[in-house]
């Protein structure tokens, strides 16, 4: 039985390692060719403090956004509510909520919803470039359903199915994305972790609707009347990405832990990225973290450099609600330096039941 389980795990790992060869690129020349870029945005504060590079050690509901295999590494029930002020100064917010529930001893089922709030945008026309007085706001949201399973507390695997919807009053596009991941834990005190995740592999998307229709006169000119025509929307791919990461915990006494991590990201439609981070934990109640990420082959002067290249910081505080209950309340905060704009702030509230 143990051999069969090992064979299954090895098979999943080989699948995740081989599949990215179909989408591997890391080519800056393709930047801007993919759509649904909000799939790469992270509303959750705990992982945002690591610059979304904690592929190997991410756990709980937040794992659905990076490495779904970590979803299973949690207690019985977890609820997370989060808000991110994306690129401070733009007025854009990311709002997310999710629930994860253990299913038996080795499985966890999770569901999450993320929506992008663009605020009110003025309607402008060629005749009224300063605005018509009307406003609109696009509707971008993702609904994710995930399941993760753990084998002998060492290897966990998981998969997420995510529904994507982007729309305005007269245009819309929808699609489906799949995420898969593996986490492996070993070491004398389970202090070495390794993780692989493949994200945003799915159907091409295309916009359609009345917004692509227009009326013009009969092209042959024989009879003067109007006809309705439809523009054909161009299909676009999803921003697929492969993450490979490792981390190690230095345990100092019974209450102190220092974790170092490294991560490599291969992006199909932009430069690859390499980075690392560190986290200090006191009694698993107070955690401080920082990370750095850099696009490979890019210099500070490159105009196409990722807006999140650079530093990130974060902190977490979690305490039991009562002595008799195992319920915990946690608050996470993260700040990511951006260029341009004034950074991104993430704030999450977690309930572990």
DSSP for 299-321, written as a single string: -TT-TTS-TT-EEEEEEEEEEES
Q: Can you give the pLDDT at residue 16?
A: 47
Distance of CA 329 to the CA centre of its chain: 23
Q: Can you give the pLDDT at residue 239?
A: 94
Strand 139-151, strand 135-136: pairing = unpaired
* Pure H helices in the chain: 2-18, 45-48
Domains of the chain: 22-352 (2.40.160.60)
Residue 25 pLDDT level (bands cut at 50, 70, 90): very low
Contact 30, 270 (CB under 8 A): yes
Q: pLDDT for 45-95, tens place per residue?
A: 999 999 999 999 999 999 999 999 999 999 999 999 999 999 999 999 999
Strand 226-230, strand 273-282: pairing = unpaired
Residue 284: both structure tokens together: 């698993």
How buried is residue 251: exposed, middle or buried, by Cβ count under 10 Å (0-12/13-18/19+)?
A: middle
Cα–Cα distance, 109 to 158 (Å, whole number): 10
Q: pLDDT for 101-139, tens place per residue?
A: 999 999 999 999 999 999 999 999 889 999 999 999 999
Mean pLDDT computed over 212-221: 79
Q: pLDDT for 179-210, tens place per residue?
A: 999 999 999 999 999 999 999 999 899 999 98
> Under DSSP, is residue 69 helix (H, G, I), strand (E, B) or coil?
helix
Q: Over 90: is that where the pLDDT of 211 sits?
A: no
DSSP-derived letter for residue 51 is T
What are phi and psi for residue 96, nearest 5 degrees? -145, 150
pTM of the model: 0.87
Cα–Cα distance, 319 to 145 (Å, whole number): 28
Mean pLDDT computed over 268-277: 92
How buried is residue 189: exposed, middle or buried, by Cβ count under 10 Å (0-12/13-18/19+)?
A: exposed
Q: Can you give the pLDDT at residue 321?
A: 86
How many residues are listed for the chain in this entry?
Answer: 353
């Amino acid at each position: 039985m143990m051999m069969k389980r090992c064979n299954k795990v090895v098979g999943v790992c080989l699948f995740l390692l081989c599949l990215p060869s179909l989408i591997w690129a890391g080519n800056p020349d393709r930047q801007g060719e993919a759509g649904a870029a909000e799939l790469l945005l992270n509303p959750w504060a705990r992982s945002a403090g690591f610059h979304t590079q904690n592929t190997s050690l991410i756990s709980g509901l937040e794992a659905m956004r990076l490495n779904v295999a970590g979803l299973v590494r949690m207690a019985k029930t977890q609820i997370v509510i989060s808000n991110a002020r994306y690129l401070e100064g733009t007025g854009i917010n990311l709002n997310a909520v999710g629930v994860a529930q253990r299913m038996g001893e080795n499985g966890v089922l999770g569901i999450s919803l993320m929506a992008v709030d663009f605020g009110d945008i003025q309607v402008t026309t060629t005749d009224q470039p300063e605005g018509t007085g009307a406003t609109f706001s696009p509707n971008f949201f993702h609904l994710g359903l995930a399941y993760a399973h753990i084998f002998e507390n060492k290897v966990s695997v998981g998969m997420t199915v995510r529904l994507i919807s982007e729309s305005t009053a007269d245009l819309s596009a929808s699609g489906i994305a799949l995420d898969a991941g593996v986490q492996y834990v070993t070491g004398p005190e389970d202090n070495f972790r390794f993780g692989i995740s493949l994200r945003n592999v799915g159907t091409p998307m295309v916009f359609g609707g009345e917004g692509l229709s227009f009326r013009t006169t009969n092209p042959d000119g024989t009879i003067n009347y109007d006809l309705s025509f439809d523009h054909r929307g161009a299909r676009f791919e999803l921003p697929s990405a492969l993450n490979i990461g490792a981390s190690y915990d230095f345990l100092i006494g019974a209450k102190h832990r220092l974790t170092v991590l490294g991560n490599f990201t291969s992006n199909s439609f932009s430069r690859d990225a390499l980075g690392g981070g560190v986290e200090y934990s006191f009694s698993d109640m107070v955690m401080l973290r920082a990370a750095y990420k850099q696009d490979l082959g890019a210099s500070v002067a490159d105009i196409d450099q990722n807006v999140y290249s650079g530093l990130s910081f974060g902190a977490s505080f979690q305490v039991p609600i009562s002595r008799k209950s195992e319920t915990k309340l946690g608050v996470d905060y993260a700040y990511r330096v951006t260029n341009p704009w004034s950074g991104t702030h993430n704030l999450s509230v977690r309930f572990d039941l």
